[in-house]
A and B are shown apart, each in its own frame.
Chain A
Amino acid sequence: MAKLPVSVDKLIQDFGPHKNYTPKDGFEGTHEPDKLVKTHCCFCGMQCGIQLKVKDNTIAGFEPWMEFPFNEGRLCPKGVQRYLQNNHPDRIMEPLQRVEGKGFEPIDWDTAMGRTVDEIKRIQGKYGNDAFAMLSGVSLTNEKSYMIGKFARVALKTANLDYNGRLCMVSAGAGNKKAFGLDRISNSWADLKHAEVIIIAGTNVSETFPTLTHYIWQARDNGAKLIVVDPRVTPIARTADLHLPVKPGTDSALFGAILKILVDNDWLDHDFIENHTSGFDQAIDAVKDFDLDWAEAKTGVPQEKIMQAATMWGKAKTSFLLHARGIEHHTKGVDNVLSCINIVLATGRIGKPYCGYGTITGQGNGQGGREHGHKCDQLPGNRDITNPEHRKYIADVWGIEESEMPGKGLSAYELVEAIHRGEVKGLITICFNPLVSLPNNNFVREALEKLEYFVAIDFFLNETARHADVILASSLHEEEEGTVTTAEGRVVKINAAITPPNNARRDGEIIMDLAKRLGAGDKFNYENSEAIFNELRVASKGGTADYFGITYEKIEKNMGVFWPCPSEDHPGTPRLWEDKKFRTPDGKAHFNPVPWKESSEVVDKEYPVVLTTGRVVSQYLSGTQTRRIGKLVDQYPEPLLEIHPKLAYHYGIKERELVKVVTRRGEAEFPAQLVETIREDTVFIPYHWGGKQSANQLTIGTLDPISKIPEFKVCACKLVPTKKWAGPANESPAYQSF
């Protein structure tokens, strides 16, 4: 049933994306708002503080929040424009249902919820509980993440719950758990400012975490050397002390080679290795053949540069290593992460002032969201759903029998595959747009079309929701109170500025109502967000991600609290591992051997060019929110194919010529942008768009065996120039994803 009810053009006409702009004199009340509400940006893991101007229950603008310690008023373009989601013509204000040949028509809440519950019961009755799945997202607050984890297991009684964090930092999470037994960046950003050497690998900080740039610049003002590992010269790489233009998919070779150099030159912290780690010998054994010639051949980085990087890292007294999706979106994402951790552990620079390591979490609540339960294999407090003790503890908190709790379910992409195979028949989504964000999305579309019932909880009709049977009109970030955990592990407070307009409802209310109708109302009797948080505190108690000592009051008073925070008198933990007591079973940090492995698809004669994907500064993830904000769309209106002039010359490709990019999964045309700032063997396409200009039609759906993250960052393609020229960029309809 889940095919589009009418043409995509008609859906776009009715539900957008349309570009929203601020009126010339600002929204009503911008000069004299009723109040300023201190909250955070809804985009990215930095969670910059911002104040929203409220007038007559709408957002009239923003005012920088100078006192919030992380960003002190600083914002990126998305943050500045975030308020335009409010007052948006595309906003879904009441529940909708799919009507064949017509599109979507408003219905009342009772009908929408009643039909959903009937379908859940019908499908689960016919095919089993796990045939109804849920996909969630980590732009949601901790409270909602927790509640969804509980909802899926207690009310929906399905094992198949997963989330879009699966496309985010799960490789880092898995790697961190293997090495440290805990999944969080080791230090707060404050330590970054004084590190002597900073390596940032596969993270386009300046475009994806712009406000973190200031910390790196401050470190450089204090004398830090910056090493950037990236196939492209990103803005942060441009002035770096050392840029290593690594070939996509070869990060572990690079870090393995660096580890070997550290060992060969004895730039090691023997005391730390001996007393606080395990597995060192196996780890160095795995890289014993990673000499410079080999590394240069694999990574494409000149060996002098590799040597230089290793020397800088090896001789430093303090350091910080950061990575993000660039090394994590691989079938060996966990390996890449472990190869980074190995060089951190080898030099013993962790758990000390100005010595840190971590992933830069991408999504708004990528950190908190992945700790409290909407991951298929996990329970609150970063507990393991397969661990009987963990299950028992959470079952008690939830007031159910441990035996009633479903086991480990399928991960996000595996779930889509199961839908495609016909094993999963019903789906509920919230805060996830898989049709744009998952790889090989033609396959994803086929899967969606096979669903017997699909209900989407959303505030805009995104590309995936266009396939839904029922849409439940939900709330924007500024319409519900809660907490999020930033990329540095700081739990901060999201304050509700307004109430949802018209007939839209808060996400939390929708979930609670559904739970009630599914017969689990007694388990979802929360008076407010704080009540959910208080239950979460108990649920996380004793887990690695321990929030027990964090209260709303404490967060507001201290402008955030760093977990772990096991008791109310505990100040929180900005810097981990000062006691060298790692959370692994043996209490030690673990080296892990990372032998060389190829990516799942390598270039060959037929598909000779490496394709990698990523982001631009003006867009956020699948663009559900940002492709509706006029100025953000105008800044970078359409996805471009970044290609080196030499490679372009080889194919006779000219500037702004439409180039057909073909992979084994699909093909799409993009205007060429000839730039010397990319490797000669690699092309880059940003992924924020859907429809005909979606880069994820081309990417590959192979997964990391441990983290189940798809390999977005590398696949093989061929380029076919079309001799057609792209029209003016500002007239491109790409943002609408038709």
Chain B
Amino acid sequence: MALTNEYIQEKLVEKFNDQVFQFSTDSGILSFESSAEMNLKLLQFLYDEPSLGFTFLTDLCGVNYPDHSGAELVVVYHLHNFIENIRLRYSVSVPVAKPDVFTATKLFESANWMERETYDFFGINFIGHPNLKRILNVDEMDYFPLRKEFPLEDQTRIDKDDEMFGRG
């Protein structure tokens, strides 16, 4: 039996009831959310349950929604079942004041650097991570640059007199 999005959703709801929510399907990928404390339990279930078998972590990244009060930071997991060839998107959101998420490194070695990158750019604190430090930016940096509170330079600004960059 081929694995379908409906079956995954059914299975998850059966196991976790109302702790999983916001099911939707964009461009063929089932996505859903849960609370941040549940992330390891869910990933473990998706990994271990024989009829699901999401054993490959394709991608892990952060997103910042400054307007979602109390859930400003989101961690998005893209999982893949190679045998059934089906993808899944799972996300958890945390408040910017206390951005704590459990690490997935125990399940997936690949999560190590992806979590470091997410920490580096969004300041999400992955609890239990073996080596949570900056990876692409300099260690001395004291802010998290991909958060929306750091805008890029306004391209229409005229106060700069910098002939080297063609703005003179």
A binds B: no
Measured CB to CB, the residues of A under 8 A from B are none
